[in-house]
Amino acid sequence: MTSFPDNFLWGASTSAFQIEGGYMEGGKGLATTDMGTGGPDVADNKVASDHFHHWKEDVDLMAELGMKVYRMGFSWSRIMPDTTGIPNAEGLEFYDQLINYLLEKGIQPFVTLYHFECPMAPVEEFGGWASRKMIDLYLKYAEICFKHFKGRIKMWATVNEQLIATSSGRLNGNTEKDPKQYAKVLYQMSYHVSLAEHKAISLLREIDSEATIGPVCAIQVIYPRTCKPEDILAAEYAEEMMQYYLLDMSVYGKYPPYFESYLKKHGLYPHTEEDDAVCLQDSKPDFIGINYYFSGCVEAREDGPEYGIFPPWAIGDYKMCENPHVLKTEWMANGIDPKGLMAGLRKTYHRYRLPMIICENGMAYSETLGEDHKIHDTYRIDYLTQHILQVKEAVDEGYPVFGYCPWSFIDVVSSHQGFSKRYGLIYIDRTEKDVKECKRYKKDSFYWYQNVIKNNGL
């Protein structure tokens, strides 16, 4: 029996566009994620898990599970459908009901403002994050949320996985065709997101000094392929190009030297303005949200940067490669590596000295409901057990990890691979194309996790 500290926040995670559905209902504006989530053969997010119509039943299930915290997202385009800065009353009403019911059930809402879903209006009007105008719009959206939910939402996340949010043109509207120019826009967008994040943190301090806020980072635990010094350095470069440049900006308001010189050397450094440095260094997050699914492995790159494949993995003095020591499965192509979570927590804390909460960690699997209406997901129970054990070890060693939220509370539409790739503790009865009634069925992992929470440990 491994017991966690009494106030440890056990929870579970989702994001708005991956569960809500309610496409264009209740005054919602269009978002990039409404344009499809991964091609013609996979589910889009128009219905997703139909949480928009099942939210009450879902909160009841959260209460039954015993969740203390619910890591969820707001849909920016549901709250602010256009660029006028005027909130959509029906959108706020939807979240009012949800937040109030969560609080009634004793579940703390932990809300991400920006989780991949970029409203289309600013993308069409001025190119979204490519323009500084987006900073003001995000700030307006944040202000609406901070004021409206003051006293009810006490934990906010600024941005989910800035690495992916700024790299995926499908998510942020970067339509540059030339691969190098695409990368330049990517880093400009990322710089604007960092500015927006800092301004939002400062704003929250003014509006609600009791609430806390932090970024959610997809931590990159990168191993060198061999002990060749070149490979060791390549792993360090890779972590800097995929994680530290983002978190250094979130926490210290500046880029690490290698990243900065790399961008300058390759003509990718973003346009900055005079007062930016003050704004970037004026605020600091309260915590770091950690997403972790798998680790990565690299070797040194001798040739120049390779543009045109998915940028975060491609640009830098390193090449991604296979790690023969981790177990790969159908949907976990990079392999399963619980120890990587421990490595990531250690490195993140050593560099930033901030409390951490696991916001996402989960095991994807193709599942179909048996005749008994059950899903015997022992593979998921095993995955979560192994990772929770690493969190426990980190806590025992003195690392301040204050919560754990597996991805995902219910099956959701994947960020880019449809509905066959399932992570949930609860099965949603639908297929890629047939949404049926989206009935909820508790998987074996639901009951298992219910016990973990009840026993405050494994």
Active site residue ranges: 161, 360
The first and second tokens of residue 241, run together, are 């190009």
The length of the chain is: 458
Torsion of CA 432, 29, 97, 85, to 10 degrees: 150
CA distance 258 to 191: 16
Q: Give the burial string for 286-307 (b: 16+ CB within 10 Å, else e).
A: ebbbbbbbbbbbbbbbeeebeb
CB of 420 to ligand BG6, least distance (A): 11
Which of residues 269 and 293 has its CB atom nearest to ligand BG6 in the complex? 293
Considering the complex, state which of residue 190 and residue 291 has its C-beta at the smaller distance from ligand BG6: 291
What dihedral do alpha carbons 239, 240, 244, 249 form, nearest 10°?
-160
Residue closest to ligand BG6 when measured from CB atoms: 414
Cβ atoms of residues 223 and 306 within 8 Å: no
Cα 358 to Cα 153, 317, 426: the distances in Å are 18, 29, 20
Around 405, how many Cα atoms within 13 Å sit in the side-chain half-sphere?
31
User: Which residues are CB-neighbours of 122 under 8 A, at least 6 positions away?
Assistant: 83, 128, 131, 133, 134, 137
Reduce the DSSP state of residue 214 to 3 states and report it.
strand
- The Cα 168–Cα 181 span in angstroms is 14
Contacts with ligand BG6 by CB under 6 A lie at: 15, 18, 160-161, 164, 218, 291, 360, 364, 407, 414-417, 421
| Distance between first and last Cα of the chain | 6
Taking the CA atoms of residue 247, residue 243, residue 139 and residue 82 in that order, the dihedral angle to the nearest 10 degrees is -170
Dihedral angle sign, alpha carbons of residues 67, 19, 124, 41: positive
Q: CA 189, 244, 212 angle in degrees (round to 5)?
A: 80
Assess contact for 333 and 393: CB atoms under 8 A.
no
CA distance 284 to 373: 47
349/342 Cα distance (integer angstroms): 11
Segment 321-324 long-range contacts (CB within 8 Å, at least 24 positions apart): 321/225, 321/297, 322/297, 323/223, 323/225, 323/295, 323/296, 323/297
E strand residue ranges, 205-253 = 212-218, 222-224
